[in-house]
Structure 1
Amino acid sequence: MAAEIRHAASAQALIVSDLALSFGGNFVLKDVNVCFEPGQITGLIGPNGAGKTSFFNCLTGLYSPQRGSILFGDTRVDRWLPMQRAAVGFSRSFQHVALSAELTIVENVMVGLDTHSRAGWSEAFLPLPKGSTERNRNRSRAMEALEHLAIAETADFFPAALPPGVLRLAEIARAMVGSPHVLLLDEPAAGLNSVETRDLAVGLRKLRSKDLVLVVVEHDMDLIMDVCDTIHVLSAGRLLVSGSPAHVRTHPEVVRVYLGDDGE
């Protein structure tokens, strides 16, 4: 079933309608309507407390909205568990790099293929034919993901030996290695210097694909304006403005919010 849906979901939009989320009677998201198109890099921005991470958590199934719907193509997924969404092609990264210190970079990326693996853990790590074959195949796919982001030379290093920019790209490689249809990146430039952010921008452009819905939450406005095709702005849980970088950059409501005159 999941495989059939995953195959059919290729090149489908992610459509959010009238989404509302509250905690203890306090609204975090209020009637958000947005369509994320495949083939684009879409930015989601807003001041602290705007509801960006809560919105991401609704998309991935960590939070259950009280109202509204989330459709992937024609399939409604807003009541699905995170694992169900992952099985049909949803993948995400988190604000803080979460690579395992005990695994090499390529092994960390291979973790992104767990939901695609048929061998059990014992077969994967013991010298048994089935596990060995699958492990070799997964390593090959992980290496392709690292090569795509131009960090293949780090494959056999441990995370502690590498700078933050490389670790961020490795985490994105792990999110991408399973060929997702929806990729959600939560503040990928957090903690990076200007050179690392520039390398990240190059890596993000390489991810643009006609079959991929790619959404980036980010505070680095220069990065967002540089790589995104479309930008959506949240403020106090509401969708404030949507449009091209040029439109959003000069919109008076966006300027007002980012100058701190929003009354939050």
Structure 2
Amino acid sequence: MTATATVMQPAAPLAVQGLSLSFGGIQVLQKISLQLRPGEITGLIGPNGAGKTSFFNCLTGLYSPQVGSIRLGDVKLEGVPPTGRAALGFSRSFQHVALCPELSVAENVAIGLHRQSRAGWLDAFLPLPQGRAERASNRELALAALSRLGIAHVADESPSQLPPGVLRLAEIARAIAGQPRVLLLDEPAAGLNSVETRDLSDALKKLRSPGLVLVVVEHDMDLIMEVCDSIHVLNVGTLLASGTPAQIRGNADVVRVYLGDEDE
């Protein structure tokens, strides 16, 4: 399938049931059950070491839980490797921005289209016949992703010349360029100042769409409370609480183990 032939797959919830993960006898996640719905922004919060990144790694196939199931709609994901999950529509950003300074911002974003590219992401950058059409269509999709986040004006600039907030938005643009069904953002506000965090908040709200399961791991509680429709709280590998932002703010257990730290 070429980039211009991208087909939007139907919206589907991401259902996690009884998920448990351990390493060397250490329980990292224990009996996690939750449903992540398309059309919502879901927050995943908790203290350091609560299991948030491990949970993301289970969703994307980097880790294989010993117990439990993960389904995207009717599709069981047990045994599906990370590449297979990417083909199903999983996309992810990481805490540390990793853009190649030798490529323009648009070229970096186009790398996110490799899973649906017939020529392959490397061929698409080489002056070969099979890569020319890919290169043109990938640039169009990259520009569309950048425009969606309000930073199309930096498309031809080098990442090395851009501030952290714009780099973060560029990385998210790369993650959405392939029109994912599941988007996992790992601490997108890390290292951003207050103005950049405000821009990030505005951008995240623009990503809310009926066909996308969007999950955000974040320590910035003001951001989480503002953009999220629902929040799940992990603590030492267990699901402590789930609810709306107002419900989570008013949960005594959550305040005791996590939110209370914000005022200390």
TM superposition score category, shorter chain reference: over 0.9
Query: Are positions 1:198 and 2:195 aligned together?
Result: no
Query: Are positions 1:104 and 2:104 aligned together?
Result: yes
Partner of 2:156: 156
**Structure 1, residues 86-106: CA drift from partner, whole Å, max 9, x if none?**
001000000110111211100
Supply the distance in 1 between the matched residues of 2:127 and 2:230 (Cα, whole angstroms).
48
Question: TM-score scaled to structure 2, two decimals?
Answer: 0.93
Identity value in percent: 66
1:211 and 1:255, CA in 2 relative to 1: closer, same or farther beyond 3 A?
A: same
> Which runs of no fewer than 5 residues in structure 2 stay unpaired?
1-5
Question: TM-score scaled to structure 1, two decimals?
Answer: 0.93
Supply the distance in 2 between the matched residues of 1:8 and 1:198 (Cα, whole angstroms).
30
Give the CA deviation at 1:139: 0.2
Give the CA deviation at 1:123: 4.7
Give the conservation status (yes or no) of the 8 Å contact 2:107–2:139.
yes
Q: Map 1:141-220; keep pairs closer than 5 Å.
A: 141-220=141-220
Query: Are positions 1:252 and 2:252 aligned together?
Result: yes
Partner of 1:3: none
**Structure 1, residues 23-50: CA drift from partner, whole Å, max 9, x if none?**
1001000000010000000000000110
CA-based RMSD of the aligned residues comes to 1.7
How many residue pairs end up in the alignment?
Answer: 256
Give the CA deviation at 1:260: 7.0
Give the CA deviation at 1:130: 3.3
Give the CA deviation at 1:124: 2.6
Displaced runs of 4 or more, over 6 A: none
Supply the distance in 2 between the matched residues of 1:128 and 1:236 (Cα, whole angstroms).
51
> Which runs of no fewer than 5 residues in structure 1 stay unpaired?
1-5
Supply the distance in 1 between the matched residues of 2:46 and 2:160 (Cα, whole angstroms).
32
1:157 and 1:122, CA in 2 relative to 1: closer, same or farther beyond 3 A?
A: closer
Give the CA deviation at 1:120: 4.5
Give the CA deviation at 1:9: 5.3
The alignment partner of 2:39 has SS state of coil
Supply the distance in 2 between the matched residues of 1:259 and 1:120 (Cα, whole angstroms).
45
Supply the distance in 1 between the matched residues of 2:29 and 2:197 (Cα, whole angstroms).
29
